[in-house]
Amino acid sequence: MPTTWQGQFISAAEPSEAGDPAPYFRREVEVGTGLRRATLHITALGIVEAYVNGTRVGDEVLAPGWTSYNHRLHVCTHDVTALLTAGTNALGAVVAEGWAVGELTWDLKRHVYADRPALFCQLELEYEDGRTEVVSSDSTFRVGTGPVRTAGIYHGETYDARLESGWAEPGFDDSGWAEATPYEWDLATLTDTGTDPIRRIEELPVVAITTSSTGTNIVDFGQNLSGWVRLTVTGEAGQTVTLRFAEILKPDGDLERETNRTAQATDTYILRDGEQTWEPGFTFHGFRYVEVEGWPGELDPAALTAVVTHSDMTRTGWFETSNPLLNQLHANTVWSMRDNFVGVPTDCPQRDERLGWTGDLNAFAPTASYLYDVRAVLGSWLADLAVEQQASGSVPWVVPDVLGHASAPTGLWSDVAVSLPWALYSEYGDLEILRRAYPSMVAFIRQVEGDLDETGLWADGFQFGDWLDPDAPAGNPSNGKTNPNLMGAAYLCRTTRELADTAALLGETTDAEHFGALADTVREAFRREWVTASGRLANESATAYALAIVFGILDPDQLAKAGDRLAFLVREAKHRISTGFAGTPLVTDALTLTGHLDDAYRLLLQTECPSFLYPVTMGATTIWERWDSVMPDGTVNATGMTSLNHYALGAVADWMHRVVGGLQRVEPGWSRIRIAPQPGGDLSSAKSSHDTVLGRAESAWSLSGRELTVTAVIPDGASAEVVLPQHPDGLVVEVGPGEHSWSYEIPEPEVPSEFTMDTKLGEIAKVSELWVAVAAVLHSHYPQIPLDDAGAHVAGMSLNELVSRIPMANPRLADELRETLAGFAPQV
């Protein structure tokens, strides 16, 4: 990157209006003989594609990506030596509106950063004899228009192939174009952000074509994705092909555009004569289905290809089990992460939003850092967060911040400033991550510290709460079962401790003492306000208990009570989800930590709505924003906020990696590992694989009959504790790098020697086959008895007690129950 920039930003003379063509820039460059190296630095206020002598430069798309442009504008650098020749050459660029100029947010705000697309470039020529020349963007460039007639992030692109010309080649007559106009912009914002470029990552073929009620073609690519469609078509000049994008179809097979909200998500291609291939370059869509209108002749499936587009991160994590539904849930999580890491970690890729919501990422960060190497993307994003925070005095709720109003400090959302650097440090073991983020981390906690009451409780101010709790009103997703102030105070217990630990690691002794004391204070304030001496919470919700358990707020002797209450609430909800963004990443961990692994598995494997697997049973290929984004009849939950591609609720994958697969990081950077799978549910095998900074780490187990096999792979530079599940001797072993394997017979499960009418229902519920049979008998006589999923209401009753409490019970009920017990246990 040059130490100084020459030239200036250039643009068309007038501000852009919605629907304006994209400006095309060009100038010719004389290149002497003996060229040794040619380097092009280029960026834009908008989205830029660069050309040298008619050839597209680089393989990035949607460049320069989206950053906090007022502070940090990424510059792409390309070696273009091979594209230049001695003599006259042409340098050109197309700049569409993109994020800098076009519409953003559901308010469709234009000109958030700039009032027109603008180009900056610097071409550096180095010759064998030591000469150097620099050609920079200035008024010597000409500006006109071309085939890109409109282009917007939300609404799509219109391209008129009849207007194609040799505009980016030497000798093109640009006399009809205008002189480029200087555009005022601070060149100090230009930087190499170090982020991963956005690229075309994968291509998917058409899997089916159907016909809509209006006679148009509906194309199914089989996967909800971010990107666009490439088409190859033959026709006559002036014919128009229109592509409309959507995530889902209506039950009648027509395109359902509800989840796009006001985003038009439409690409229009106007043909020239003959065969031609085209794909957009200045927009992207979130879609699985495409309605094709105006196609000349019969549509051949091979004529369309979905181009999957996102930040080019390296995949580092995998997971698989014997359960196909769980495998699909994990695949959906991976796809939603891919689709929402398009430069910025966004909430969704399809509607009039696509913003870098902090809460979504904070909930998902441990999963994200397992699945992909996110150091570059999230390192750049954290740098944007820090400069936006410094400018406004608060951590924005979205980064880059385009909301247009101040963001109050909130739990889970704003405290991403602390927890994300900590999560990245934990994954990669790099203290520089914490060092770079430290001023931002401190600024956030000090801001909240000033908002605490005299006891140290964070009790006032706005909180998002347990966002999208399934019991929250459709129009008020923050109004769930968990008190928002409890949630905010609980998250503060976590982040103050993370900051104290960060300060200690960085040698900030005074800060470490101060924030350590603050962590103790806010924990005690939380306990004084919300926790009884026995460990019961004043606000009884699954999320409240999960936060108190996982964040270490409770004393050890309180965990049993809290865990039992959490398990009761989970069973009372029939092992269906009762948590939102704040509680969902933690509830399975909280159950596991307090000895309720079976409940955690039953929660994970539930298929009734709301549940992790309900979307999978409905054909989802990504994670939904709402648990019931699609209703059982196939209609979209029309709340105005129903995305089918949100990664936040996929955060349960982190628990799956660590507990189901058994691969746990103990020390930052994976120098110390714990292999401790905990089999459960109907699974007969599971495997977690992760490419750590030290190399591949792996944990796998499989059960055949009573024989359990556990395997582990430990990378060089790491050691591991292996806790062999259900081992008859409770074996725990220490291993070093390499591949390891153990096989052994697991003991038969302990089952009561007999079941009688005096056996408690809670004991019967532990034997799933018997419980199903007993519940079926009870329901056949009295469907209203609340016995679903382990009978949380009546677990302490015996069958005799239950029958005695049923007014005018059918005499056959007790007989049928005895017969059922006898059939399961003949000795009864």
Q: Pairing between strand 719-723 and 672-675?
A: parallel
* pLDDT 10s digits, 355-382: 999 999 999 999 999 999 999 999 999 9
CA distance 637 to 625: 11
What pLDDT was estimated at residue 792? Answer: 46
CA distance 117 to 69: 13
Q: Buried (b) or exposed (e) across 735-765, using 16+ Cβ within 10 A?
A: beeeebebeeebeeeeeeeebeeebbbbebb
What pLDDT was estimated at residue 768? Answer: 65
Query: What domains sit in the chain, N to C, each tagged with a CATH number?
Result: 9-191 (2.60.120.260), 198-311 (2.60.120.260), 317-660 (1.50.10.10), 668-745 (2.60.420.10), 761-824 (no CATH)
Q: Is 353 one of the catalytic residues?
A: yes
Q: What is the dihedral of CA 35, 41, 47, 49, to 10 degrees?
A: 10
User: Which structure tokens are listed for 127?
Assistant: 């010759």
CA distance 799 to 457: 46
* pLDDT 10s digits, 604-656: 999 999 999 999 999 999 999 999 999 999 999 999 899 999 999 999 999 99
At 109, give phi and psi (nearest 5°): -75, 130
Q: Is 625 one of the catalytic residues?
A: yes
CA distance 483 to 469: 12
Closest by CA position to 492, among listed 517, 455, 518:
518
**pLDDT-derived band at 787, boundaries 50, 70, 90:** low
* pLDDT 10s digits, 117-158: 999 999 999 999 999 999 999 999 999 999 999 999 999 999
CA distance 56 to 65: 17
Q: Pairing between strand 266-270 and 156-160?
A: parallel
* pLDDT 10s digits, 243-301: 999 999 999 999 999 999 999 999 999 999 999 999 999 999 999 999 999 999 999 99
How much is the average pLDDT of 332-350?
98
Do the beta carbons of residue 627 and residue 583 sit within 8 Å?
no
Whether the pLDDT of residue 789 is over 70: the answer is: no
Bond from prior residue into 251 cis (ω within 30 degrees of 0): no
Catalytic residue selected from 49, 572, 625, 698: 625
Q: Buried (b) or exposed (e) across 637-664, using 16+ Cβ within 10 A?
A: beeebbbbbbbbbbbbbbbbbbbbbbbb
* pLDDT 10s digits, 464-501: 999 999 999 988 999 999 999 999 999 999 999 999 99
At 140, give phi and psi (nearest 5°): -75, -15
Do the beta carbons of residue 152 and residue 103 sit within 8 Å?
yes
Residue ranges of alpha helices (H) inside 506-631 are 509-530, 542-550, 559-572, 584-593, 597-605, 614-617
Taking each helix axis as running N to C, give the angle between helix 584-593 and helix 597-605, from 0 to 180 degrees, rounded to the nearest 10: 150
* pLDDT 10s digits, 526-580: 999 999 999 999 999 999 999 999 999 999 999 999 999 999 999 999 999 999 9
Closest by CA position to 74, among listed 1, 177, 179, 182:
1
How much is the average pLDDT of 329-345?
98
Whether the pLDDT of residue 44 is over 80: the answer is: yes
Nearby residues of 452 by Cβ (< 8 Å), 6 or more positions away: 458, 522, 525
What pLDDT was estimated at residue 117? Answer: 98
Q: What is the 3-state secondary structure (H, E, C) of 632-688?
A: CCCCECCCCCCCCCCCHHHHHHHHHHHHHCCEEECCHHHCEEEECCCCCCCCCEEEE
* pLDDT 10s digits, 414-464: 999 999 999 999 999 999 999 999 999 999 999 999 999 999 999 999 999
Whether the pLDDT of residue 786 is over 70: the answer is: no
Closest by CA position to 44, among listed 2, 83, 4, 98:
98
What pLDDT was estimated at residue 806? Answer: 82
Please give the helix or strand (H or E) that residue 319 lies within, else none.
strand 317-321
How much is the average pLDDT of 724-741?
97
CA distance 356 to 370: 20
Catalytic residue selected from 49, 247, 258, 353: 353
Taking each helix axis as running N to C, give the angle between helix 358-371 and helix 324-340, from 0 to 180 degrees, rounded to the nearest 10: 120
> What share of the chain in percent tops pLDDT 70?
97
CA distance 612 to 676: 23
